[in-house]
Amino acid sequence: MNHLKVENEDHLYRDVNTGAIINTDRSSFAKYKASRNKYRNMEHELDYVKSEINDLKTLLKQLIKSDGSHSS
C-alpha cells in the first residue's frame, strides 16, 4: 500500500491506489469517538425522558377522565 503525505497536514496521507485520505492521528480519532459516543448517550437519555413524559401525560389524562366520570 503506497501513501503520499498530504501537503501542510501532519497526520494526513493519501492512498495512491484508492485516493482515500488516511488520518494517522489516533489521539484525535479517539477524542472524536468519545465525543460521538457521548452525543449518542445524550440522545438516548433524551429519548428516554421524552418517553417518560409521554407516559406521565397518558396517566394524567386517564386520572382526569376517571375523576370526571365519578364526580356526577
What's the mean per-residue pLDDT of the chain? 93
The mean pLDDT of 60-72, rounded to a whole number, is 82
Q: Are 38 and 32 in contact (CB under 8 A)?
A: no
Distance CA 12, CA 23 (A): 5
Distance CA 64, CA 62 (A): 5
Cell numbers for 35, please give them: 465525543
Q: How many CB atoms neighbour CB 23 within 10 A?
A: 13
The mean pLDDT of 10-16, rounded to a whole number, is 93
> What are the residue boundaries of the structural domains of the chain, listed by start?
3-70
Could you tell me which residues come within 8 angstroms of residue 31 by beta carbon, excluding any fewer than 6 positions away? none
